[in-house]
Structure 1
Amino acid sequence: MSAAHPVAELYADHHRWLHAWLRKKLGCAHQAADLVHDTYLRLLRRDEMPRLEEPRAFLLTVAQRVLANHWRHQRIERAFLETLAQWPQALAPSAEEKACLIDALVEIDRLLDGLPAVVKRCFLHAQLDGMSHGEIAAELGISLSSVKRYLVKAGARCYFALDLE
């Protein structure tokens, strides 16, 4: 009989502890269960598992990243739904379209992560709001050349990130 997969051993030994930690952070057992699942899925997708001296510390690091992504997703979804509430009912997207739009916004946020806020805002104004370079410059109080430079920077980040996947 072959040895158990290292993630299976982690799951068996620490699942309850990780679920309790996430439940405490989230205040919801169902969301905690979902994020425990996402944490172990992330581990299963790894090419190799490191040799773990402190498995709980390792799991905690992975779970904290999953939790941060969860909170980011919630923040983006909330902002999108607040914006959507201002749209005319006739333009409201279907539930499936909403889910796709939220996923796209989360992915854009992930791709732009680490860029300065002004670069992100330039990109979002151009791509989501359809603003011209001049309108963006006026809105953000920056030069037209800065708008162009920032759009190139953000566009390159997205293009090359997608190219690597």
Structure 2
Amino acid sequence: MSSPCFGSAENIVLIFSEHHNWLQKILRRRLGNASDAADLAQDVFLRLLLKPRNFDSLAGARAYLGAMAQGMCIDLWRRKEIERLWLETLNAQPKPVAVSAEHCAVVLETLFQVDTMLRALPVKVRTAFVMSQIRGLTYPEIAVELCVSVRMVKKYMAQAMLHCLVLEVEHFGAI
């Protein structure tokens, strides 16, 4: 007799009914917030519906759901930290800056995308890119800070720029 498959839409309903309350309780404890916990639990099951997975048991499904929820918690915390820092930056401006909710949403979404792009780069490549593009350091200055050659900084920057170009092609199509 073959083991059950828990990846079909019908079985996702079973997984939901078996694990939704457990997952929401775990998330509520991690996040300290019932509203965020409910949203993330819903997102976990939505992702599972959009990209079904096969599980050999309900315990395997629970382990997967827990791991997915943990990753989503980390993403939520990262997004909240980016939002907090951006709002602090706005508040630190010498003149009060009035930003519409729509503009705020666009800026935050852009910041989240940049964060995702930067996290996909190796640490030294990311660091060199930020030093160059955000801090305005020259390649020789970056080389000194990273304890590498200027040639290596050029390689890091080429790798970062290639990554940006690939993302642009993926997002906007052929250039």
TM, length-normalised to structure 1: 0.78
Q: Could you tell me which residue of structure 2 aligns to residue 105 of structure 1?
A: 111
Taking only aligned residues, the RMSD between alpha carbons, in angstroms, comes to 2.9
**Residue 14 of structure 1: which of 19, 28, 47 is its match?**
19
Deviations 1:31-56 (A, max 9, x none): 1001111111221221x421342221
Moved over 6 A (4+): none
8 Å Cα contact 1:122/1:136 also seen in 2: no
C-alpha distance in structure 1 between counterparts of 2:56 and 2:100, whole Å: 46
Q: CA deviation at 1:120?
A: 2.1
- Count of paired positions: 161
Q: Could you tell me which residue of structure 1 aligns to residue 34 of structure 2?
A: 29
Q: CA deviation at 1:80?
A: 1.8
The amino acid of 2:65's aligned partner reads L
| Unaligned segments of structure 1, at least 5 residues | none
Q: Could you tell me which residue of structure 2 aligns to residue 73 of structure 1?
A: 79
Q: CA deviation at 1:69?
A: 0.9
8 Å Cα contact 1:133/1:144 also seen in 2: no
The amino acid of 2:45's aligned partner reads Y
The amino acid of 1:155's aligned partner reads M
Query: Residue 123 in 1 paired to residue 129 in 2?
Result: yes
Deviations 1:13-48 (A, max 9, x none): 2111100000011111011001111111221221x4
**Residue 50 of structure 1: which of 54, 57, 65 is its match?**
54
| Unaligned segments of structure 2, at least 5 residues | 1-7
8 Å Cα contact 1:133/1:148 also seen in 2: no
Query: Residue 39 in 1 paired to residue 44 in 2?
Result: yes
Deviations 1:78-97 (A, max 9, x none): 22222222224365533222
TM, length-normalised to structure 2: 0.74
Identity of aligned residues (%): 34
Q: CA deviation at 1:145?
A: 4.1
The amino acid of 1:86's aligned partner reads A
